Chain A
Amino acid sequence: MSNQLNVVVVGNGMVGHHAVEQLFNLGAEHNISITVLSAEDRLAYDRVHLSEYFSGKTADDLALTDEATYQDWQVDFHTNAKVVGIDKQQQKVTTVAGDVFEYDKLILATGSYPFVPPIPGGDQDHCLVYRTIDDLESIQQSASCSKVGVVIGGGLLGLEAANALKQLGLATHVVEFAPQLMAVQVDAGGGRLLKDKIEELGVQVHTGKATQVIEAGEQCRYRLVFADGESLETDLVLFSAGIRPYDNLAREFELTIGERGGIVVNEQCLTSDSNIYAIGECALYQNMIYGLVAPGYTMAKVAAQDIIANHINLIEEAPLRFTGADMSTKLKLMGVDVGSIGDAHGRTPGALSYMYENQPLGVYKKIVVSQDQKLLLGAVLVGDTSEYDSLLQYMLNGIELPNEPEALILPSSGEKPTLGADALPETATICSCLNVTKGDIIDAVDGGACSVADVKACTKASTGCGGCSALLKNVVDKELENRGVEVKKDICEHFAYSRRELFDIIKVNGIKSFEELIESHGKGLGCEVCKPTVGSILASVWNDYILDASKLPLQDTNDNFLANMQKDGTYSVVPRVPGGEITPERLITIGEVAKKYKLYTKITGGQRIDLFGARVEQLPDIWSELIEAGMETGHAYGKAVRTVKSCVGSTWCRYGVQDSVSMAIFIENRYKGIRAPHKLKFAVSGCTRECAEAQSKDFGVIATDKGWNLYVCGNGGMKPRHADLFATDLDDETLIKYIDRVMAFYIQTGDRLQRTSVWMENLEGGLEYLKQVVIEDSLGIGETLENQMSQVIGKYQCEWKTTIENPEALKRFRQFVNSDKQDTNIQFVNERDQIRPARDHEKIQVVNISETGDTQKHKELALEES
């Protein structure tokens, strides 16, 4: 075994961490000791997705590693360990705390810092930058006492930062010195459209503005004064005017740096000192700083390989070199898709371009091709990046363009030349962040990976920015298909079909019962998986009474007894309270019922009242009284439309711009009780303050001064997800039309127990595809979906009303078929003036003292015990 080699990595950003990972993976058998020195107080985290910190992700969610992992890898790591000295002769570094670490090889991955232009007044308390989690915390704090925020800088990061301010509820402005947004990535035409789209989303954009001074404001905390004499008031200023390499160590300790900064490196990522490497945003290769994560990862890999190859005297045939990187990028900025590929500005001599612009739809596309029109040199996509993957492959792999290259970006009038996964060469890069080629994916599949998740785990593909996930799935599926692998989607042993297939079978064949279906398309008796699934589909398709003799055995106990079973076998009862609006009379009735039946009451998260502790035999009586008072079932027991939460809206609220309560009640009454693959929750907010928390619902509606914004596919629960903005400023009719369509499409195509969020993420093409289907009616099924909805809506019934009118159905609601006694195992004790189930040790053993033993007495005794 070779001698131990000490490698010290300075910096634990994404790239520094990648270097550690590479050293660990490649050097595990070569006696390499790795030390990591991080200036921040936490280990590496994902800076690419930093803005998600404001949409609910925590620092832990963003973490790329943790202490346990580094310990497993035997990495010696130190946080708050900013390096302040390098001794190149003695090969030692010193941290700010005075600790000294010796190295054989040193990797500088110090990254960059945000450039703050020297504007007078730019150093005040609420003038901040956007780079680290600490920065985000400062922004959050400042935003909490601010109303208006300005981002100085309209580049990629500036727009990300503007999105963050908007999410924090500030009136947001972007101030850009250049005449357009994102001048590096998109051309003037794309920039213009981008500006329009971003302004539509409520962010004011000011281009061609040079800020000269930040002084005290009148309405707000500060006032920005521009060179043209105009001014803008704001409470918070966020600088995002580019990055500068963090190269001060190199400056102080005499490593060669570039004229405008950056540590000069060669193809091995070596600096002017043969034992010191520099990688990522602090490194300058051929006068270029690569400010994206993908080139940084490549540099990390190059440096790690070079260190190990030298250490074990391995002369590789083709040692890995860093020779620059493709800076193409695809991203979503505030919901606007932007893609930039290669020579986006058409600066290559002789380059020609094709352009397509659709202003009404807000789409701009341009491709730049070589003089002979054979090769793609670059592209700009704004508003629609669906062709990004294909175009990138054309460019990266020098694939010859079709005869009429414009067909690649024109809307599909006829056959669009597509570049399928099969057409890609094995050298094609699928994931540019992690540099995974199609060949790597084929190797993984050959090595036994048989799902996208497997391939991700062993190649790391699509674990960076995630932009390639659709293409990755495509390649994996194709490769599996080529090997004759069939992906099983059977819901259980009784049906060799997915929920979606069963849905089609039931609908097309007009099947109305489980027996009919299992006889024709399944086997056995069914189980607790397929029965409720089929029950739910039958309900979605036909919406008949769910306790018919034929459907009753299909329902899970909650549906079966039209109530929610609790841990002790009792049930909870939830009357519907549409939109959360309830009269005092009904509140009194609920209170009286709860009192009479000694039920525990609690307000739910969906603006209703939950009554707990009802015995199965009490349910019909309880419901008779509730129905008598005009109430109906809340379907809290079903995988069905539950509640539509609302704020009080413009009727009462000083800020409301629409009547959110009326809309919520309308929506709730329209969709109540409709069965779906999973429960569905709605909310309607009367203004952008969003008091109804609509963005955490499957369907969220937020009032604007022009109508309604519709958000879809959000949820709270185990894995919370914010809903995506689906359409803006809709009138009432269009809003309902879109909800109808999305809901019918979900009911038809969703998997068993799949919530809308997961459903949409699994739709190929995701949100964009859903928009096409619903808004543009790309499949031509819009009307069918609406009809389907109106059919089920027309058959609504209050299941409890039907049940209490049906003596046969009522027979189910008893504990014993042969006795009117009660279940003595159900016992309660008092807590805070209400009942709760008795715990095991609190229960009284009930025995029959004699044939006529009075168990009631024991029960009351138990109640008093506590």
Chain B
Amino acid sequence: MSDKRWINICSLSDLVENSGVCALVEGATSADNLTAKDKQIALFSLPSMSEQVFAIDNFDPIGKANVLYRGMVGCNQGEPIVASPLYKQQFSLKTGQCLQEEAQVNTYPTRITDDCVEVLV
């Protein structure tokens, strides 16, 4: 059985269309609640895509700062992406793969329940 669970993050209106916000998930993945690290998750709202809301790690593994939510969203050959605001590498919102360099961020399933945005962490 998976340790993962759906976490209620915010209401749909807290998202910014065609842009990102960041959520703090506190100690969520830990087996041991005493030493868990907080997790920052970037959420992007793309109303024109069927997924509507994408969630990935907020930490930019190349720039080494918690900034991905402040990046610009768009697409590259149809793949939805966010471009890091620091050094502009693009990360796929679907796979977390960096399109220009060897780098990867985690992605998280999302769902909207009664106007609430939830992330599976």
Contacts and interface: CB of A to CB of B under 8 A. Distances in A.
Nearest to B38: A848
Contacts of A524: 74-75, 78
Nearest to B89: A528
Interface string A570-581: 000000000000
B17 A824 contact: no
B120 interface: no
B19 interface: yes
Contacts of A531: 72, 74
Q: How large is the interface on B (under 10, 10 to 19, 20 to 34, 35 or more residues)?
A: 35 or more
Given A816-B22, A817-B23, A525 B85 contact: no
A565 B70 contact: yes
B4 interface: no
Contacts of B43: 817
Q: Which of B9, B67, B78, B90 counts the most chain A CB atoms within 10 A?
A: B67
A840 to B, nearest CB: 7
A532 interface: yes
Contacts of B34: 848-850
Given A553-B19, A817-B43, A848-B38, A527 B72 contact: yes
A553 B72 contact: yes
A219 interface: no
A706 interface: no
B27 interface: yes
Interface string B1-45: 000000001100011111101111011000001111110100100
Interface stretch (A140-148, A189-197, A554-562): A554-562
Interface in B73-110: 73-78, 80-81, 83, 85-86, 88, 90
Contact of A560 (B27, B33, B70, B78): B70
Nearest to A812: B16
A616 B70 CA distance: 10
Contact of A553 (B18, B22, B24): B18
A552 B19 contact: yes
B48 interface: yes
B35 A848 contact: yes
A532 B27 CA distance: 37
Contacts of A821: 24, 38
A592 interface: no
A818 B74 contact: no
Contact of B64 (A561, A565, A840, A848): A840
A565 to B, nearest CB: 6
A439 interface: no
A482 interface: no
Contacts of B24: 815-816, 818-819, 821
Nearest to A568: B65
Contacts of A527: 72, 74-76, 81, 83, 90
A817 B10 contact: yes
Given A567-B63, A567-B65, A493 B19 contact: no
Nearest to A560: B70
Contact of A823 (B35, B40, B80, B90): B40
A54 to B, nearest CB: 38
Q: Which of B14, B35, B43, B86 counts the most chain A CB atoms within 10 A?
A: B86
B20 to A, nearest CB: 9
A848 B27 contact: yes
A829 B86 CA distance: 21
B53 interface: no
Interface string A276-317: 000000000000000000000000000000000000000000
Given A815-B66, A851-B26, 17 more contacts: A494-B75, A524-B75, A524-B78, A525-B74, A527-B83, A528-B71, A528-B72, A532-B72, A560-B70, A561-B70, A567-B65, A816-B22, A817-B15, A817-B22, A821-B24, A821-B38, A826-B66
Interface of A: 493-494, 524-528, 530-532, 549, 552-553, 556-557, 560-561, 565, 567-569, 616, 811-812, 815-819, 821, 823-826, 840, 846-851
